[in-house]
Structure 1
Amino acid sequence: MVTPTFPARERAQLTCADIHLQRGDRPVLTGVGMTVTPRSRWGVVGENGRGKSTLLHVLAGELAPDQGTVQLVGTLALATQEMPDHDERTIGDVVDEQLAATRAAMERLDEATAALADGRPGADEEYSQALDLVQLLDGWDADRRVDMALEGLGAVTDRSRPLSGLSVGQRYRVRLAVLLAAGHDFLLLDEPTNHLDRESLGFLTDRLRAYPGGIVVVSHDRALLSDVVDTVLDLDPTRDGTPQVHGGGYAGYREGREAELQRWEADYAQQQAERARLADDLSKAQNRLVSGWRPDKGTGRHQRATRAGSLARAVHRRQDQLDEHRITAPTPPQRFHMPELSAPNGVTLLRAEDVTVDGRLPYPVDLTLDSGDRLVVTGANGAGKSTLLAVLAGQLAPATGTVHRARRARVHLLQQESSRPLHRRARDVFAEHLADLVTAGLLDDAESVGLASLGLLSSHEAGKRVGELSMGQQRRLDLACALAARPHALLLDEPTNHLSIALVDELTEALQITGAAVVVATHDRQLQRDVAGWPRLELSGEVRSRR
């Protein structure tokens, strides 16, 4: 039997220093260091593939780094994104495993109570220590905490249910609920908002705020980061290649990251300009050297040789300066650039009247979208948000009602899922999309948008086949194609899915000021906060209209 490990509470500490980890020839983690104490709230952010999940496994002791140290005082629990497909345990088994220390402490107290009643020698001291331990663990309330967490996260509460009979989302909620209630000194959470609805998200946020131990959370959920964390570890590229730590919570991270990028871009531009100046000086010196070998007629040999030597030294001096002035600042990360979108003033672009779709949008919707309008579509899963956007875009015919579109109005929908051919290269997919728009008469050649100008995919990424791109990169390609259409009305279905925090922030700012009409359907709490001033259309079990 494994001896249970008890929490250290105020003495607890989790530290890592100078963590390096490499996979093949690719560095995954470089120079990572952090100190997590009770009440610490760390957020770990970065693009896909930056090593966020890997770092959690290193902190949990499940993965040894190539270099660096990890030290733990106390107990921790790790909740990964993945859940095993085959698990013969019941919910009760999971509860008992996570409450093993509490169960052992309660058993010890029962034994000490019996010894005290029997008058055994030393029973007073043993009873006092056992009681202190149960109080430390809040043992009497442990099972009630589990039940509250299961209910709060919308998880199955029947402890006799086998995990194998639950969906992935249900199993995830069970595990998360039990870990929240178990009372470990540290919780390591990888994208904990996956599989949670609005009510569950609120419960999780409250519990993480009140949690008595330290928390390290990997997340792209900006609302969770904004509401919970006080320190952010940014694993995205920096000038010196080491991660940046930002205080001041999510707001401090955004401000610090933006300031760092501005300094980086300024240094890089200055070095490029200086190198260009030196290269120009070198070219001029070389030209003078060539002309110097052909002095005016009648010039003596001595003067000719003296002039040649001086010019040669000037060329060598410029060459040395150019070689010494290598660009030390690496190329800054690309930034998103929204193309100019507009629509004729005072035009009704879309009008939907009494629109329904069998089994998908059961209650009629009325909607009018004029040039420059903004609209947020909300509602529970299955309420018909994606269906409504597909009807507005002309991709799905309504069962009842009508949709009127202004003549030559460009309406484009960014769907939740990509359907691009996986074997084609990203740049070819984009170029073909542009050509189709021009051929169909929806776009003039002069209005075409270059893929590189959008700042969504690097040249290297654009040269990859779609199937070789990450989910986030494929989402960027879809967004690029949507913007390439120069839509008068841009319909966005869960636009923040798979995108990095930095890109979502840039996209959100661009949507606020673009001249196109914009409709957003989203569950993203931070995006909903950012567009709180926009009109809203809530889809639920009754007739809805927005005019």
Structure 2
Amino acid sequence: MSELSFAPARAAHVRVSGVHVSFGGRPVLAGVDLVAASGDRVAVVGENGRGKTTLLRVLAGDLPVDRGEVHRAGSTGVADQQLPLGPADTVGALVDLELAAVRGALARLDDAAEALAEDRPGAADAYSAALAEAEALDAWDADRRVAVSLAALDAVDDRSRPLGTLSVGQRHRVRLACLLGAGHRVLLLDEPTNHLDAAGLDHLTERLRAHPGVVVLVSHDRALLADVATSVLDLDPSSDGRPRVYGGGYAGYVDARRAERARWESLHAEQVAERQRLADDLSAARNRLRDNWRPDKGHGRHTRATRAPGLVRAVHRRQEDLAAHVVAVPPPPTRFALPDLPGHGGATLLRAVGVTVAGRLDRPVDLALHAGDRLVVTGPNGAGKSTLLAVLAGESAPSTGGVTRARPVRVGWLGQESEPPGTRTAAALYDERVVRAGLAAPGAAAPGPAAPGSAAPGLAELGLLAGHDVHRPVAELSVGARRRLDLALVLADRPHVLLLDEPTNHLSAALVDELTAALGSTPAAVVIATHDRQLLRDTGTWPRLAL
């Protein structure tokens, strides 16, 4: 059940109680509870596919729930991962669409003022209501706020410009600027930091911290969550299978989640060990019964007495104990495992000399990469970071200069955008990539564990995709799961050089932490281009290339 209504800023709230949503019979949200009032900024976290975007759709009123209640008060602005207009529509059309609530409030105020001037019955009450609505949105200042955000986010402000002529990043920045300026009392934001540079991130952080209403935020950006969130809703399963809400901001969540994970792993291990002990006791009792065991001659008053009846009872007792001892605590989620990537000692793996790309990378770039090298490429949007990585990967040709790669060096490139989703499964694509890289025999099943340097691990072993996603068509995967598959496909080649363009986009905070730690120790050369502030802090000892 949903209850959606307009309310002034001081009354803005979101309340979710016992919400369940399933797709195709598979639970996506199970027992979600959340209460947020004005001034609350709730971060929604969890592994890809846990239902973060689904929850935002539920809060927006775009998706009905199977069970539970959703209440929301206050006008709502939604920044999801799909634009609501087509390529032929203009920037101005997108601004008007996102400011529809503001335009409507001002139109209703004008109508009410006209009715008041004509002294129509009930005009005074209608005018008071319309004025309160416009004041709650601060409607008169909305266009100025949008203009300020367009400039701060380095977004196109030419309202006649067709959206199809803008990059993906530009289109998202225009939309985000509109939402930040519209005065909505409830903001629902899905990965708002994608495509923002340092200045844009600072502006977004400032605006969210100053927002007078409710913010519900899905983001992989750990720095934004640390700076903004007042509480965290974790959709990952806990030891009892239910989502958790943590107070104390993002830092409080990290500490509490770490402690809970340790308790969970310990309790699960204890239960597994106890079940194994019971199984061993049962096996020993059965062996003694099968061997018709008797005590040695002269052994107590039961000398030479048969023990068969007692052993039968012991076997039955242990069978009952084993049946009763179900491991009630589920195993904790798997962790990411970077495969053993090869080094290539002594030789220069990749060298770029005087590389430029007309209109996209104006500054000539020289660099040389050896095994184990680390490099972070920084710079504002448009500086050419993605262009440089594409040239290094051989996906784009330079206008001047050149790139040479040693043989038989393999280069793995993770771009920002996924390939169009198709009907093939994640496992089929991964296995094909492994075979093409010569790391498994054609027609072989998903490779199993292998000695370092000999073969790629199976897709499930990487800890990137949930079991139910491994054999699903890619078109059915979430954006985050497709991003994880992209990373898996790059790793399937077991590259000597890893080129990662904004690798944290759409990934969970836990996975980003694990990936960052793994990248620091691999013998492969690693180059990262990123605006992610926490990733920049975590790689603070790596050399920088500023464009």
Task: In structure 2, give the amino acid aligned to 1:95.
Answer: L
The percentage of counterpart residues that share the same residue type is 56
| Partner of residue 496 from structure 1, selected from 504, 516, 521 | 504
> Matched residues in 2 for 1:436 and 1:126: separation?
73
Match for residue 521 of structure 2? Answer: 513
Match for residue 108 of structure 2? Answer: 104
Match for residue 412 of structure 2? Answer: 413
Contact preservation (8 Å) 1:5, 1:101 = no
Match for residue 241 of structure 2? Answer: 241
The superposition leaves residues 374-427 of structure 1 with CA deviations (integer Å, 9 ceiling, x where unpaired) of 21123455654345335545666656545455676x453233256799467256
Quickly say closer, same or farther: Cα 1:194–1:103, change in 2 above 3 A.
farther
Contact preservation (8 Å) 2:360, 2:384 = yes
Task: In structure 2, give the amino acid aligned to 1:81.
Answer: Q
Offset, 1:146:
3.8
> Matched residues in 2 for 1:358 and 1:167: separation?
17
Offset, 1:82:
2.6
Match for residue 446 of structure 2? Answer: none
Query: Which region of structure 1 is more displaced relative to structure 2, 216-225 or 460-469?
Result: 460-469
Q: CA RMSD in A?
A: 4.4
Offset, 1:536:
1.6
Offset, 1:57:
3.0
Match for residue 315 of structure 2? Answer: 315
Contact preservation (8 Å) 1:190, 1:217 = yes
Contact preservation (8 Å) 2:41, 2:216 = yes
Match for residue 82 of structure 1? Answer: 82
Classify the secondary structure of the residue corresponding to 1:447: coil
The superposition leaves residues 435-459 of structure 1 with CA deviations (integer Å, 9 ceiling, x where unpaired) of 34899xxxx9652353354333456
> Matched residues in 2 for 1:249 and 1:223: separation?
12
Classify the secondary structure of the residue corresponding to 2:30: strand
Offset, 1:472:
4.1
Contact preservation (8 Å) 2:430, 2:488 = no
The superposition leaves residues 135-167 of structure 1 with CA deviations (integer Å, 9 ceiling, x where unpaired) of 655455344334434444455556688989988
> Matched residues in 1 for 2:313 and 2:152: separation?
78
**TM-score, L = length of structure 1:** 0.79
> Matched residues in 1 for 2:247 and 2:203: separation?
25
Contact preservation (8 Å) 2:433, 2:493 = no
Q: Report the number of matched residues.
A: 525
Query: Which region of structure 1 is more displaced relative to structure 2, 34-43 or 412-421?
Result: 412-421
Contact preservation (8 Å) 2:233, 2:246 = yes
Quickly say closer, same or farther: Cα 1:12–1:459, change in 2 above 3 A.
closer
Offset, 1:41:
0.4
> Matched residues in 2 for 1:429 and 1:126: separation?
66
Structure 1: gaps spanning 5 or more residues: 540-547
> Matched residues in 1 for 2:360 and 2:176: separation?
31
Match for residue 95 of structure 1? Answer: 99
Contact preservation (8 Å) 2:48, 2:480 = yes
The superposition leaves residues 14-57 of structure 1 with CA deviations (integer Å, 9 ceiling, x where unpaired) of 21211122334211211111111111101112233322222223
Contact preservation (8 Å) 1:78, 1:189 = yes
Match for residue 438 of structure 2? Answer: 435
Offset, 1:518:
1.9
Task: In structure 1, give the amino acid aligned to 2:104.
Answer: A
- Is 1:336 the equivalent of 2:336? yes
Offset, 1:483:
4.3
Classify the secondary structure of the residue corresponding to 1:292: coil
Contact preservation (8 Å) 1:426, 1:464 = no
Offset, 1:511:
1.9
Match for residue 543 of structure 1? Answer: none
Classify the secondary structure of the residue corresponding to 2:520: helix
| Equivalent residues in 2 for 1:112-511, closer than 5 Å | 138=138, 140-154=140-154, 157=157, 173-194=173-194, 196=196, 198-292=198-292, 306-339=306-339, 343=343, 348-356=348-356, 361=361, 363-379=363-379, 383-393=383-393, 400-403=400-403, 410-416=409-415, 422=424, 425-426=428-429, 428-429=431-432, 431-433=434-436, 435-436=438-439, 447-448=453-454, 449-451=456-458, 452-457=460-465, 461-462=469-470, 470-480=478-488, 482-483=490-491, 487-511=495-519
Task: In structure 1, give the amino acid aligned to 2:68.
Answer: G
Quickly say closer, same or farther: Cα 1:377–1:438, change in 2 above 3 A.
farther
Structure 2: gaps spanning 5 or more residues: 443-449
Quickly say closer, same or farther: Cα 1:388–1:83, change in 2 above 3 A.
closer
Quickly say closer, same or farther: Cα 1:316–1:179, change in 2 above 3 A.
same
Match for residue 545 of structure 1? Answer: none
> Matched residues in 1 for 2:498 and 2:139: separation?
54
Task: In structure 1, give the amino acid aligned to 2:412.
Answer: L
Match for residue 45 of structure 2? Answer: 45
Quickly say closer, same or farther: Cα 1:403–1:431, change in 2 above 3 A.
closer
The superposition leaves residues 203-252 of structure 1 with CA deviations (integer Å, 9 ceiling, x where unpaired) of 22221121111111222333332332221111122221211112232333
The superposition leaves residues 322-359 of structure 1 with CA deviations (integer Å, 9 ceiling, x where unpaired) of 11111111122110123455747776544332234567
Quickly say closer, same or farther: Cα 1:130–1:315, change in 2 above 3 A.
closer
Quickly say closer, same or farther: Cα 1:386–1:76, change in 2 above 3 A.
closer
Query: Which region of structure 1 is more displaced relative to structure 2, 467-476 or 523-532?
Result: 467-476
Offset, 1:277:
1.5
Query: Which region of structure 1 is more displaced relative to structure 2, 478-487 or 75-84?
Result: 478-487
Match for residue 445 of structure 2? Answer: none
Contact preservation (8 Å) 1:426, 1:461 = no
Task: In structure 1, give the amino acid aligned to 2:453.
Answer: E
Quickly say closer, same or farther: Cα 1:395–1:158, change in 2 above 3 A.
closer
> Matched residues in 2 for 1:339 and 1:257: separation?
26
> Matched residues in 2 for 1:65 and 1:247: separation?
26
Bigger radius of gyration: 1
Quickly say closer, same or farther: Cα 1:66–1:349, change in 2 above 3 A.
closer
Quickly say closer, same or farther: Cα 1:131–1:478, change in 2 above 3 A.
closer
Classify the secondary structure of the residue corresponding to 1:321: helix
Classify the secondary structure of the residue corresponding to 1:502: helix
Classify the secondary structure of the residue corresponding to 2:20: strand
Offset, 1:78:
3.2
Offset, 1:128:
9.0
Quickly say closer, same or farther: Cα 1:168–1:108, change in 2 above 3 A.
farther
> Matched residues in 1 for 2:23 and 2:469: separation?
20
Offset, 1:66:
2.6
